[in-house]
A and B are shown apart, each in its own frame.
Chain A
Amino acid sequence: AQSVAQPEDQVNVAEGNPLTVKCTYSVSGNPYLFWYVQYPNRGLQFLLKYITGDNLVKGSYGFEAEFNKSQTSFHLKKPSALVSDSALYFCAVRDGRGNNRLAFGKGNQVVVIP
């Protein structure tokens, strides 16, 4: 079964500094990878996805993620963090062999310090 690991519970970063949120995955077939963001007491919002093609994926709000097959990673990045980026970030993976279930990681709380 597919699974996702988000090793850090919380990521603290100063405003204006680069932000990285780590994600590693495990699937049997080709991975379909997603990042979502959640603000307090709200649902998740889709940020970006990797299905195939270019390993660097650009998404909403200036976020990007790099797919690394050899390291089975899909880290989320933003060159310059904003205070408004403070939220809970979830990585998710689907098995590209047709299993429709999406496996979510536990989430990373990002705190951007003014």
Chain B
Amino acid sequence: DGGITQSPKYLFRKEGQNVTLSCEQNLNHDAMYWYRQDPGQGLRLIYYSQIVNDFQKGDIAEGYSVSREKKESFPLTVTSAQKNPTAFYLCASSEDQGAVAPLHFGNGTRLTVT
């Protein structure tokens, strides 16, 4: 089945540690996205990539980093600089770089930092 795989489903880290969330897609989509979801705040865009080896900051990029070395992979690193990293993180992809294609989402990674 085609889709987006996020791993792990749950992740626990100590404060001050960097952590990398995995996102892999086999949909052959060009565009990929990372969102953060907090209760009552909807989804906020962290980073997005429209093509391999290129990515742009979203609305809340501070404390995060990404890479896009392969079309199917878009890992997100939550660094120790992110002040409030505990959240539900969602990866998504879309088949075009324009505006009309819907996003396909993974099932998310719930990160807890203590």
Contacts and interface: CB of A to CB of B under 8 A. Distances in A.
Interface of A: 9, 32, 34, 36, 41-46, 49, 51, 90, 94-96, 98-102, 104-107
Contacts of A102: 45, 103
B105 A107 contact: no
Q: Which of A42, A46, A102 has the most CB of B within 10 A?
A: A102
A27 B102 CA distance: 18
Interface in B1-47: 4, 6, 31, 35, 40-45
B108 A43 contact: yes
Contact of A44 (B41, B58, B90, B100): B90
Interface residues of B, number: 27
A95 B105 CA distance: 21
A102 B102 CA distance: 10
Given A42-B107, A100-B48, A105 B100 contact: no
Contacts of B50: 100
A94 to B, nearest CB: 4
A98 to B, nearest CB: 7
B68 interface: no
